[in-house]
Amino acid sequence: MKLIKTSWLLFMSLMVSFTSCIKDEAPNAEADITACKTSSDILLRSPIITNERVTFYVKDWVDVTSQAPEFSLTEGATISPASGTARDFSTPQTYTVTSQDGKWKKTYTVEYLFNELLTEYHFENVKYYSYKDEESGQEKQFYQIFYNKRVDGNDMEWGSGNAGFMITNSSAPATDYPTCQAADGYKGKCVKLTTRSTGPFGVAFRAPIAAGNLFIGIFEVNMTNMAKSTHFGAPFTYEPKGLVGYYKYKAGDKYTDASNKEVAGKKDDFDIYAVFYEVTKDVQYLDGTNSLTSDRIVSIARLTDKKETNVWTRFVIPFVLKDGKSIDPVKLKNGQYNIAIVMSSSIDGAVFNGAVGSTLYVDEMRLFYESDK
């Protein structure tokens, strides 16, 4: 018994000595902009920071030719040009963040945007999300990003869930992503939104399908609650009146729920809507969980007269004020309202209900508004 006791003590002391030889923490390998600052009286919104882009929405009178934003970084990381350097933001500027260990560099695009939102959408322009493959050194293209050229020369990018789809389906060609461009639009090219299967990984995360979607806003993956990945909205200083455009739609065959179980007899449907909402300190944007239900919403335009069709069909959707809501002209001028236009190939795609194969085409869309208020 003594032998066992002694050996056990010896062994435990060995284990303890293992844990006591934890090495000193390595320098950080990450290179994030974690927060940023610019004189707050020029901002319409809190700055929006994603993995590779920082957006400042600024008021109309702001001189963007000389702005000196300041950045907070991952501990120990450095930024070039230095934080606080005055630069000309007439066009987006790039910054390189280098990790504390010096091994990783990430390039951020930093842009200052005025609140003027484009209101005519032809869906002729796409660019590719791409990054350099570490091993081959080749630039790999993943999915398409729709964008519009703004008057000031900057791009206005549409948001989509493609970034989420990429996590599990990175090898898919761009045209197999839920959101992509297609030929044979009403005029020129158009948007093609397809509800796709996300494979076994998606099933495990209770997100078995990815509805094709396109929206004004950004997409930032939230694994805890996928529906919160979509951040809808951008500033709009006019009162929206109506949304007009063309669509074609075909519903997929088998309607499934979030557990990937077939729901017999249920037919998929698409969704096109726009919401106009007030931005407050607490509610900077709407997401997939509250884009139609938030009490911040002032007016909604949602397509109700829908059908399956393979010919281009015109839609006209008026904005309807919600009960008891009104638009405050002062807040409107100050850019305290956001607009979000959202299109989806499955109406309940945000909660992962829909039919794989449902396809929605949209083209030549236009947002009408009252500009003389």
Partner 1 sequence: MKKIAITIFCFFLCAGFLYAQDDRTAALVSSEKNGWEYELKAGMNIGGASPLPLPVEIRSIDNYNPLLNGTLEGTVTHWWGNSKKWGTSVGLKLETKGMKTGATVKNYSMEIIDGGSRVAGYWTGFVHTKNHSGMLTVPVLANFRIAPRWTVKAGAYASYLIDKEFSGYVSDGYLREGTPIGQKLEFTDGKTATYNFDNNLRSFQWGFMAGASWKAFRHFSLNADLSWGMNDIFKKDFKTITFDLYPIYLNLGFGYQF
Binding residues for partner 1 (CB under 8 A): 1, 3-4, 7-8, 11, 15, 18-19, 21-26, 28-32, 51, 99, 103-106, 134, 163, 167-168, 199-201, 203-205, 221-224
Quote the tokens at residue 351: 């909660």
Q: How far is the CB of 222 from partner 1 (least distance, A)?
A: 7
Q: How far is the CB of 70 from partner 1 (least distance, A)?
A: 21
Quote the tokens at residue 6: 């002694």
Q: What is the DSSP letter of 67?
A: B
Quote the tokens at residue 195: 């509800």
Helix or strand holding residue 59 (H, E): none
- For the CA atoms of 261, 263, 267, 268, the dihedral, rounded to the nearest 10 degrees, stands at -30
CA 297-164-191 angle, 5° bins: 70
Q: How far is the CB of 105 from partner 1 (least distance, A)?
A: 8
Q: How far is the CB of 225 from partner 1 (least distance, A)?
A: 9
Q: What is the DSSP letter of 365?
A: E
Nearer to partner 1, 101 or 155 (CB): 101
Distance CA 141, CA 219 (A): 18
Nearer to partner 1, 43 or 174 (CB): 174
Residues with Cβ within 8 Å of residue 167, at least 6 apart in sequence = 201, 221
Q: How far is the CB of 8 from partner 1 (least distance, A)?
A: 7
| 20, 39, 100, 247 from 305: Cα distances, Å | 69, 46, 56, 12
Nearer to partner 1, 11 or 128 (CB): 11
Nearer to partner 1, 8 or 128 (CB): 8
Nearer to partner 1, 103 or 314 (CB): 103
Q: How far is the CB of 110 from partner 1 (least distance, A)?
A: 16
Q: With CA atoms as reference, report the closest residue to 217 among 268, 279, 171.
A: 279
Q: How far is the CB of 343 from partner 1 (least distance, A)?
A: 24
Residues with Cβ within 8 Å of residue 40, at least 6 apart in sequence = none
Nearer to partner 1, 221 or 347 (CB): 221
Distance CA 259, CA 209 (A): 10
Quote the tokens at residue 298: 């002032």
Nearer to partner 1, 3 or 311 (CB): 3
Q: How far is the CB of 4 from partner 1 (least distance, A)?
A: 6
Contact 371, 239 (CB under 8 A): no
Q: With CA atoms as reference, report the closest residue to 28 among 83, 98, 108, 132.
A: 98
Nearer to partner 1, 67 or 229 (CB): 229
The string of DSSP letters for 338-349 reads EEEEEEESSTTG
Contact 121, 148 (CB under 8 A): yes
Q: How far is the CB of 107 from partner 1 (least distance, A)?
A: 9
Nearer to partner 1, 221 or 244 (CB): 221
Burial (CB < 10 A; 0-12, 13-18, 19+), residue 45, is: buried
Nearer to partner 1, 51 or 371 (CB): 51
Handedness of CA 207, 211, 216, 218 (dihedral sign): positive
Q: How far is the CB of 7 from partner 1 (least distance, A)?
A: 4
